[in-house]
Structure 1
Amino acid sequence: MNEWNAGPDDEEAGGVMRTVIRQLKLWRESAGLTQAEFGAAIGYGEESVSSVERGRRIPRPEYLEAADEALGAGGKIAAFKKDVAEIRYPKKVRDLKKLEAEAVELCAYNNSVIHGLLQTEEYARAVLGARRPPFTADQLEQQVSARMARQEIVGDTTARALFNFVQCESTLLRPIGGKMVMRAQLERLLEVGAFRNVDLQVLPLNREENSGLDGSFRLVRLGDCTTVGHVEVAHISRVITEPKEVQLLDIQYGIIRAQALSPRESMALIEKVLGET
């Protein structure tokens, strides 16, 4: 169980935790069990049970399953697993995941690393592991898990949204994580690029004009016909809703996409780089 690290403004996570804690404590007390007896029944120490009930630790799914069985809750405690799993991730990650889940189209340009929705687990761990100041071991695993969870919206059969990714060629050549990690990442790009709802393009380094030198960004088009932008740099994540700012990003993205290779040409370039890696 990881330490509880929700910020004071994270009301959603706080509300879920208060509800889960209240229910766990009520069920335990109704069963007439002390924290030590309850811990013994579910295979955890008294201190772990106390930490959960004081809101210092977030219970893992197996903790909730064991509590449900030991207390005869008939699934009422285990039902919290999905809610608790969501709030384990930082608020900005949850907000971004929700935004992406509501998208009818997502457009993204990246010039430093492969886009998070396209990353393999090993590549994501290498990218996040390079952060300075570094994450703790638990924080790193939490971040990697959160990034992998976001990828559920991209799929050949289950995804509803359309995706367009433009990657600067430099992201294909930068051997993050080493050659084997990069080979697997390039293979993943070829796999996702073949999905019917995904257009994957590469902006070559030999282009004399590159309108993406300002940095990476994304556009999310929502079902209500509105579009929002998102930029993330140096530990700062910002959602852009001001229409004029979004319009500028939209224009910029259209130019970048026109400067890039077509999806077919891009897949051929990725295959070429893979063969040379």
Structure 2
Amino acid sequence: MTHINVLDPGASPLDYYGFELRRLREAAGLTQKQLGDILNYTGSLVGQIETARKIPTPEFSERADAALGSDGLLSRLVDLVLRSQLPAWFQQVAELEARAIEMCTFHTHLMHGLLQTKAYARAVLGALDRTNLDDRTAVRLARQRIFDKAEPLVLWAVISEAALYQEMGDRDTMRGQLAQLLSFEDNPRLNIQILPFTAGAHAGLQGSFDIFRFASDPTIVYTEGYGTGHPTANPDTVKDCALRYDHLRAAALSLKDSAELIRRVMEDRYGEQVA
């Protein structure tokens, strides 16, 4: 167990956050319990975060900043903390998501992490491993904070129709997930297209992939295997995947027709059942 008196702020972003939280709390003359009462959390949770045994959430950080008058310090740190908790091989991808001005993604069997609801993310992450599931889910959802930026990236997501039917969690989970997709319908920066079964053979048969475009850096293509990620800026690969993506978008339903299909599947497959 980490002891608060020997917590090294340079050991990790999580340790640094805990060190700063303790410093700010003590400067305010508050005990852990007193701060917890103010924030509507337990003093035990405050202590666990201070000793780097619990991952802070954005909500906790915003409340703590307000209570401790820390000018948004903890809210700025929490993004770094959460990103550091991602699997090592995926941390670079989260950085690409945060820096990109445009992202094009194709998925064959599930929703992209940036589009997932909490319940859907829990179902996906807990499929084989349920340890620390709450923290791992929070870390995944924190990636979606990139959409809160003053000028967030433009996301194009082509999703196979199969993903609408691949039931992650229960019916309520899927209904909530499809409702989330529909909530983006009027957002020009979040564009969802469904690749229907009727498309037949298509340009994405080799699997899912992402394309990241930046204001000045070279475009990067990202593919994923079991426990590994493969980003590349190889011009030939980028050119090939960009062409594949253009063909996928052309084969997919329009934004309007995609929303209609999502709505129909949500009601017909995951709607209220009459006994």
Q: Do Structure 1 and Structure 2 share a fold, with TM-score over 0.5? A: yes
Tell me by how many angstroms 1:112 deviates. Answer: 1.3
CA RMSD of aligned residues (A): 3.8
Aligned to 2:108: 111
Contact 1:117 1:150 in 2 (8 A): yes
Contact 1:201 1:261 in 2 (8 A): yes
Normalising by structure 2, we get a TM-score of 0.73
Q: Tell me whether 1:83 sits opposite 2:77 in the alignment.
A: yes
Inter-CA distance 27–217: structure 2 relative to 1 (3 Å threshold): closer
Inter-CA distance 84–183: structure 2 relative to 1 (3 Å threshold): closer
Q: Tell me whether 1:57 sits opposite 2:53 in the alignment.
A: yes
Tell me by how many angstroms 1:224 deviates. Answer: 0.7
Q: 1:216 aligns with which of 205, 208, 211?
A: 208
Q: Tell me whether 1:230 sits opposite 2:226 in the alignment.
A: no
Contact 1:167 1:203 in 2 (8 A): yes
Aligned to 1:9: none
Tell me by how many angstroms 1:13 deviates. Answer: 7.7
Inter-CA distance 123–42: structure 2 relative to 1 (3 Å threshold): closer
Tell me by how many angstroms 1:125 deviates. Answer: 1.0
Q: Tell me whether 1:165 sits opposite 2:157 in the alignment.
A: yes
Question: Aligned equivalents of 1:196 and 1:111: distance in 2?
Answer: 23
Aligned to 1:146: 139
Identity of aligned residues (%): 28
Q: 2:98 aligns with which of 97, 101, 123?
A: 101
Contact 1:104 1:223 in 2 (8 A): yes
Per-residue displacement from partner, 1:167-190 (whole Å, max 9, x unpaired)? Answer: 000001112112121111111111
> 3-state SS of the aligned residue for 1:109?
strand
Structure 2 stretches lacking a partner, 5+ long? 3-8, 37-42, 270-275
Aligned to 1:201: 193
Question: Aligned equivalents of 2:252 and 2:262: distance in 1?
Answer: 13
Inter-CA distance 143–240: structure 2 relative to 1 (3 Å threshold): farther
Per-residue displacement from partner, 1:65-96 (whole Å, max 9, x unpaired)? Answer: 88x98xxxx64698345314532422555533
Normalising by structure 1, we get a TM-score of 0.72
Higher mean C-alpha deviation, range 186-195 or range 109-118? 186-195
Q: What is the 5 A alignment of 1:182-197?
A: 182-197=174-189
Structure 1 stretches lacking a partner, 5+ long? 5-11
Per-residue displacement from partner, 1:125-178 (whole Å, max 9, x unpaired)? Answer: 111111x3x140x2x2222112222223347x9553222110000001112112
Contact 1:13 1:87 in 2 (8 A): no
Contact 1:153 1:159 in 2 (8 A): no
Which letter maps to 1:79? L
Per-residue displacement from partner, 1:176-208 (whole Å, max 9, x unpaired)? Answer: 112121111111111113312232111111223
Inter-CA distance 173–13: structure 2 relative to 1 (3 Å threshold): farther
Q: Tell me whether 1:268 sits opposite 2:260 in the alignment.
A: yes
Aligned pairs, how many? 251
Tell me by how many angstroms 1:262 deviates. Answer: 1.8
Question: Aligned equivalents of 1:23 and 1:184: distance in 2?
Answer: 37
